[in-house]
């Protein structure tokens, strides 16, 4: 077997609906992660804030700035955090996502050493993985795609950890097979999948359908990962359920809500 360029980290995903991932590092092994995703770590692991994904660190400041600049285009932070085991024995570090869902461990060697993913889905990866950008070739994807004009591109021969909201559904698409997906529900896909945006159509669908004006079309061959609860949908539901400014919020969704406000003297 050819030697990997990425560090060979071990892992264990823990939990059901709100998951975290335990990553075990041999001495001098490193994992990179999004800033703010750390849950806990053993003594002996050193944290270091780095530009971008850490690639090009040996090639001078210009390469570092270019690596970080790619992340700015995807709407992510300029910086990531590298966790290195500086001890003499194996150490563990734990990561968790910012909202409920599933963590998907993926070995890029099984997917042609490249995946395209939603810009907010990357959680962590072995050192040596490149977290880049994937430009859409069509303007419509950027204007209406939900994931924006740019998606993330993960390159390398090691492990990556992707987070998705709700339940994960995976599908293998045959050559020419078409799958229509809500634009926010697409998590990741292999490079052979053709991704585009399609107008829902129909005046009633447009005005009253409640599903948005556009959906993503995924055409095989390739493998896709779909999430049941995009973060944007979860956020919209929370905002819609939140009590109005100045209200008590008691029994807001019940028949007695209005009566209760009257009895309390609320206008």
Q: Determine the Cα angle at 42 with ends 38 and 47, to 5°.
A: 55
Most confident residue range from 185-199, 206-220, 231-245 = 185-199
Q: What pLDDT shows up at residue 175? A: 97
Q: What pLDDT shows up at residue 241? A: 77
Domain range holding 43?
Answer: 10-237
Residue 19 burial class via C-beta count within 10 angstroms: exposed 0-12, middle 13-18, buried 19 and up: middle
CATH number at residue 149: 3.60.160.10
Give the CA radius of gyration of the chain: 22
pLDDT tens for each residue of 1-31 = 567 788 999 999 999 888 999 999 999 999 9
Kindly state the tokens that stand for 224: 């896709």
Q: What pLDDT shows up at residue 138? A: 53
The answer to the question of residue 4 being in a domain is no
The answer to the question of residue 266 being in a domain is no
The answer to the question of residue 133 being in a domain is yes
Question: 146, 185 in Cβ contact below 8 A?
Answer: no
The answer to the question of residue 61 being in a domain is yes
Q: Give the C-alpha separation, 267 to 258, whole Å.
A: 10
* Among the ranges given (29-43, 91-105, 120-134, 146-160), the one the predictor scored with the smallest mean pLDDT: 146-160
Mean pLDDT of 164-177: 94
Number of residues written out for the chain: 267
Q: What pLDDT shows up at residue 156? A: 95
**Residue 134: which of 155, 160, 113 has the closest Cα?**
155
pLDDT tens for each residue of 234-264 = 666 677 777 765 555 544 444 445 545 555 5
The answer to the question of residue 248 being in a domain is no
Query: How many domains, the chain?
Result: 1
The answer to the question of residue 2 being in a domain is no
The answer to the question of residue 58 being in a domain is yes
- More confident call, 82 vs 206: 82
**DSSP symbols for 119-138:** TT-EEEEETT-EEEEEE-SS
Q: Give the C-alpha separation, 170 to 181, whole Å.
A: 12
Residue with tokens 């804030």: 49
Mean pLDDT of 96-119: 92
The pair phi, psi for residue 118, each rounded to 5°, is -60, 145
- For residue 202, pLDDT over 60 is answered with no
Q: What pLDDT shows up at residue 83? A: 97
The answer to the question of residue 263 being in a domain is no
């Amino acid at each position: 077997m050819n030697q990997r360029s990425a560090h060979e980290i071990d892992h264990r995903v823990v939990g059901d609906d709100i998951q975290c991932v335990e990553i075990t590092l041999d001495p001098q092994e490193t994992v990179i992660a999004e800033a703010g995703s750390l849950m806990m770590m053993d003594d002996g692991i050193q944290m270091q804030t780095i530009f971008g994904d850490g690639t090009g660190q040996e090639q001078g400041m210009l390469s570092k700035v270019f690596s970080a600049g790619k992340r700015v285009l995807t709407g992510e932070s300029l910086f990531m955090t590298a966790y290195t085991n500086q001890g003499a024995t194996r150490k563990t570090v734990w990561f968790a996502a910012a909202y409920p869902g599933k963590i998907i461990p993926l070995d890029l060697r099984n997917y042609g050493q490249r995946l395209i993913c939603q810009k907010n889905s990357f959680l962590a990866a072995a050192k040596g993985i490149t977290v880049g950008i994937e430009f859409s070739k069509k303007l419509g994807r950027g204007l209406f795609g939900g994931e924006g004009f740019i998606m993330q591109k993960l390159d390398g021969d090691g492990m990556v950890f992707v987070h998705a909201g709700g339940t994960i559904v995976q599908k293998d698409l045959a050559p020419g097979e078409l799958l229509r997906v809500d634009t926010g529900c697409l998590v990741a896909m292999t490079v052979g999948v053709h991704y585009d945006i399609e107008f829902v159509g129909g005046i009633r669908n447009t005005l009253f359908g409640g599903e948005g004006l556009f959906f993503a079309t995924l055409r095989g061959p390739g493998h896709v990962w779909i999430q049941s609860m995009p973060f944007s949908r979860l956020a919209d539901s929370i905002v819609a359920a939140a009590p109005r400014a100045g209200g008590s919020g008691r029994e807001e969704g019940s028949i007695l809500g209005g009566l209760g406000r009257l009895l309390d003297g609320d206008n």
